[in-house]
Amino acid sequence: MLLTINEKDSRPIYLQIISQVKEQVSSGVLKPGDELPSVRDLADSLGINMHTVRSAYLKLRDQGIINLRLGRKARIAPWQKTANLTIVRDSISERLRELIIDALLSGMSADSFRELVNQQLKEINEEVNR
Amino acid sequence: MKIKLVHPLWTHLPSVVALIILVIYILTTGPLPAEAPVHFGFSGEPNRYGSPWEVFGITIGLSVIFILVSILFDELWARQEKAKSFNWLSLMDDIFVPFMAGVGLGYLSFLKSGDDSFSFPWAYALPMVGGAVALAIILDTLRPYRPYSAPLTIEDSPTLKAEIAKSLKENASFVYWDYQNPFYVSLITVVLPLVMFLVAAITSFSQIWVGVVMLVVGITLIIPYGGQRTLVTRNQVAIRWGILGIRVLRLKITDITGMTVHEFQPLKDFGGYGIRINREMTAYYLRGNRGIKITKTKGKAVLIGSDHPEALLAVLQGITGLE
């Protein structure tokens, strides 16, 4: 598993960790039951604060991506099939709204945003199917 | 986690049956005397007294340890089998456990008889061992041969290399993380210490030093819990071990002169698993037969075991710029 922390990335460090773990789960590099590095190992090697790593792991746990229990290794959780769809839908739509506003504010047209979404969907699908 | 044993568990039936026979006999014999001779001199005269449970505790505890260890050994053996052949290792517990059970039965009948001196119960031990070994030989010949190949995953190595190159260029910090934490490590580091603490608790009433030894060995066995972790960063390769995360290897990237995916035979090349040294290299691995062999500017080569050696190779090549 490769984790990169890039200062040029405008997102905060914990979000960078979260999105990379999620990406690797969706592309199948990380499989259910796989271990994640300990908070301390990760913080030491990346030269970041342990609290940053911990908050990333806690967020991942809250979203049901990993299992985190006291004294145990963080592991990728089994796939959730029966998540509460309305809640998932609401939270996704909220985040999408934020993204759309960002895109429109930076001068992107609605059509090119739609195109971007379709392209990303296609790419992720290909990664999952590979 | 799901693991599939290649060596079937039913090959351990003879020793388990012997142990069950002993337990049934102990339970059906009725109340055991509170104090009985537990240690004997050469001619069979008792020279120490205690609770008979001390004898049975040691017998049963050791037998359970033996069965667990031999399940582990047989599994390791079966995974390296290239064609069906007779597994002599599988007789290990089928000799030891029935022997202990036989001695236990003999001791039980000695307790019942009320004799003064104890003669070694060959009459119990030998038939038990004979029967169990005969059954074990039959069972191991019946054992099916299942070819085992470690699960291989094909990683997207070019992507990894590109990501490393990008991180290096943008001066981003990164870590590549690889681990080996096979099930048998958890077995050794959790179940064995528990059994040892149990034996320590049982024996500590009469023989303090046995309890202390068991306690110390049990605690030492916990240390490898968690397996091996390999962490590769911009400057170094580090291997950490066990529950304490002890760093057993630290290799500066600048000291690396070359690396290849290396296939090896754990038992033949290194005589086992763990941190192993042979004439050519120092190896760090807990399972499988593949890893990355790294040559350095000075000293012996290093072999890092990995379940995804291609990915590890791609990362190292990306960082060092070596091919």
B240: which strand partners?
B229, B247
A113 and A72 part of one domain = no
- pLDDT > 90 fraction of chain B, expressed in percent and rounded: 31
Pairing of strands B281-285, B301-305: parallel
Looking at residue A65, its pLDDT comes to: 87
- pLDDT > 70 fraction of chain B, expressed in percent and rounded: 96
A92 and A52 part of one domain = no
User: Is the pLDDT confidence value at B204 over 80?
Assistant: no
User: Is the pLDDT confidence value at B152 over 70?
Assistant: no
B142 CA: distance to closest CA in chain A (Å): 34
Looking at residue B1, its pLDDT comes to: 44
Q: Which residue has the tokens 């090119």?
A: A112
**For the segment B106-137, what is each residue's pLDDT rounded down to a tens digit?**
888 888 887 778 888 888 899 999 999 999 99
- What's chain A's average pLDDT? 86
Q: Does any domain span residue A50?
A: yes
What are the chain A neighbours of B160 within 8 Å (beta carbons)? 2
A46 CA: distance to closest CA in chain B (Å): 6
Q: Does any domain span residue A4?
A: no
B115: which strand partners?
none
- Distance separating the N- and C-terminal Cα atoms of chain A: 18
Distance (Å, whole) CA B288 – CA B13: 28
Distance (Å, whole) CA B82 – CA B59: 36
Q: Does any domain span residue A8?
A: no
Let me know: does B50 contact B202? Beta carbons within 8 Å: no
The neighbour count for residue B274, using CB atoms within 10 Å, is 17
Domain end, chosen from A55, A76, A97, is at: A76
Between A86 and B316, the higher pLDDT residue: B316
A71 and A18 part of one domain = yes
Mean pLDDT of B260-282: 88
Tell whether the torsion through CA atoms of B156, A78, A3 and A9 is positive or negative.
positive
A91 and A71 part of one domain = no
**For the segment B2-40, what is each residue's pLDDT rounded down to a tens digit?**
567 888 888 899 999 999 999 998 888 878 888 888 888
Closest alpha carbon to B1 in A31, A102, A13? A31
Q: Do A2 and B226 touch (CB under 8 A)?
A: no
Mean pLDDT of B59-70: 91
- Determine which helix (DSSP H) or strand (DSSP E) holds B282, and give its type and residue range: strand B281-285
User: Is the pLDDT confidence value at B156 over 70?
Assistant: no
- Determine which helix (DSSP H) or strand (DSSP E) holds A104, and give its type and residue range: helix A85-105
A17 and A72 part of one domain = yes
Domain end, chosen from A76, A93, A113, is at: A76
Residue A68 sits in a domain whose CATH number is: 1.10.10.10
Distance (Å, whole) CA B190 – CA A37: 21
A72 and A89 part of one domain = no
- Determine which helix (DSSP H) or strand (DSSP E) holds A59, and give its type and residue range: helix A50-62
A121 and A93 part of one domain = yes
A25 and A68 part of one domain = yes
Domain end, chosen from A76, A93, A110, is at: A76
Q: Does any domain span residue A3?
A: no
Residue B150: pLDDT band (50, 70, 90) is low
What are the chain A neighbours of B173 within 8 Å (beta carbons)? 4-5, 45-48
Phi and psi of B237, rounded to 5°?
A: -110, 125
A125 and A70 part of one domain = no
Q: Does any domain span residue A115?
A: yes
**For the segment B256-265, what is each residue's pLDDT rounded down to a tens digit?**
999 998 888 8
Q: Does any domain span residue A91?
A: yes
Instruction: Provide the number of structural domains found in chain A.
Output: 2
A62 and A101 part of one domain = no
Domain region containing A55: 13-76
Closest alpha carbon to B72 in B148, B186, B180? B186
Between B207 and B237, the higher pLDDT residue: B237
Let me know: does B92 contact B71? Beta carbons within 8 Å: no
What are the chain B neighbours of A35 within 8 Å (beta carbons)? 179, 181
**For the segment B286-321, what is each residue's pLDDT rounded down to a tens digit?**
988 889 999 999 889 999 999 888 889 989 998 988
Looking at residue B276, its pLDDT comes to: 92
A92 and A115 part of one domain = yes
Phi and psi of B227, rounded to 5°?
A: 75, -155
User: Is the pLDDT confidence value at B203 over 70?
Assistant: yes
Distance (Å, whole) CA B51 – CA B59: 14
The tokens describing B134, both together, are 């005969």
For the CA atoms of B167, B171, B174, B176, what is the dihedral angle to 10 degrees? Answer: 50
**For the segment A9-61, what is each residue's pLDDT rounded down to a tens digit?**
888 999 999 999 988 888 778 888 888 998 988 998 888 999 999 999 999 99
Residue B154: pLDDT band (50, 70, 90) is low
Q: Does any domain span residue A5?
A: no
Mean pLDDT of B252-279: 89
A66 and A95 part of one domain = no
The CB-side HSE value for B97 (13 A sphere, CA atoms) comes to: 31
Mean pLDDT of A120-124: 87
What are the chain B neighbours of A33 within 8 Å (beta carbons)? 1
Q: Does any domain span residue A54?
A: yes
- What's chain B's average pLDDT? 86
Please name the residue ranges forming H helices in chain B: 13-28, 52-79, 91-113, 122-142, 157-169, 183-186, 192-203, 208-222, 309-320
Q: Do B245 and A41 touch (CB under 8 A)?
A: yes
Mean pLDDT of B210-220: 87
Instruction: Work out how many CB contacts closer than 8 A connect A with B.
Output: 63
Looking at residue A17, its pLDDT comes to: 93
- Determine which helix (DSSP H) or strand (DSSP E) holds A57, and give its type and residue range: helix A50-62
Distance (Å, whole) CA A88 – CA A32: 20
Closest alpha carbon to B178 in B227, B114, B139? B227
Distance (Å, whole) CA B321 – CA B311: 15
